[in-house]
Amino acid sequence: MIIRHPYPHEVETIRALFAAEVAAGLMLPRSPEQILQHLDDWLVAEEEGQIVGCVSLVYFNGSLAEVRSLAVRSDRRGRGLGRQLVEAALALARERGVRRVLTLTRAAGLFEQLGFARDTVGNFPEKVWRDCAPCPFRHRCDEIALVLELTPGENDHDLLCAPGVSAGGVGLRAEARWTP
């Protein structure tokens, strides 16, 4: 399994990973244009030549980003891929100088295992104004806000150097690979 940035022709495959959740009102849609314009903020998991998972970073400013659109193909869930995708997104965020990472999710346990702490979305007006205010589900939102401080430390070194999202390699498709 490798984690890498997607190619433009993979946009619809990415959207298909969470189409069922979008249809059920559990995840917000991402348009092809939104994905294409920010391909380097997306990561996909590839197994045996197939895209089986995805995650994206959405920036509010240079130091705050959100982990968003995490999805693993239904037949590949429960094998650690979701966790590895979030870890890869965190490594990418660190590499880009992000200091705080936010997520809104129903899979809080997954993020708590990675050190995220529960918070309230009201503490992130950037998120509320940009995404929550226009969201059709805002009056029945059951997502939990979690935040992780990316303070430099020993773990940073491990994340930056061990898993193939190598320093300086982000954005270079061939190098932005993570082979656990």
Ligand X SMILES: CC(C)(COP(=O)(O)OP(=O)(O)OC[C@H]1O[C@@H](n2cnc3c(N)ncnc32)[C@H](O)[C@@H]1OP(=O)(O)O)[C@@H](O)C(=O)NCCC(=O)NCCS
Binding site for ligand X (CB under 6 A): 18, 21, 27, 70-72, 77-83, 105-107, 109-110, 113
Pick between residue 19 and residue 128 the one whose CB is nearest to ligand X: 19
Pick between residue 113 and residue 155 the one whose CB is nearest to ligand X: 113
Pick between residue 11 and residue 55 the one whose CB is nearest to ligand X: 55
49 and 74 Cβ atoms separated by less than 8 Å: no
Pick between residue 59 and residue 169 the one whose CB is nearest to ligand X: 59
Pick between residue 27 and residue 88 the one whose CB is nearest to ligand X: 27
Distances (CA, A) of 90 to 20, 24, 137: 26, 28, 27
Q: Is the dihedral of CA 131, 150, 32, 171 positive or negative?
A: positive
Q: How far is the CB of 62 from ligand X (least distance, A)?
A: 23
Angle at the Cα of 70 from the Cα atoms of 30 and 112, rounded to 5 degrees = 140
147 and 115 Cβ atoms separated by less than 8 Å: no
Pick between residue 115 and residue 169 the one whose CB is nearest to ligand X: 115
Q: Where are the beta strands (DSSP E) in the chain?
A: 2-4, 42-47, 50-59, 64-72, 100-105, 117-119, 144-149
Q: How far is the CB of 76 from ligand X (least distance, A)?
A: 7
Residues in the chain: 180
Which residue has its beta carbon closest to ligand X? 82
Q: How far is the CB of 109 from ligand X (least distance, A)?
A: 3
Q: How far is the CB of 152 from ligand X (least distance, A)?
A: 26
Q: How far is the CB of 92 from ligand X (least distance, A)?
A: 16
Q: How far is the CB of 47 from ligand X (least distance, A)?
A: 12
Cβ count within 10 A of residue 13: 16
141 and 119 Cβ atoms separated by less than 8 Å: no
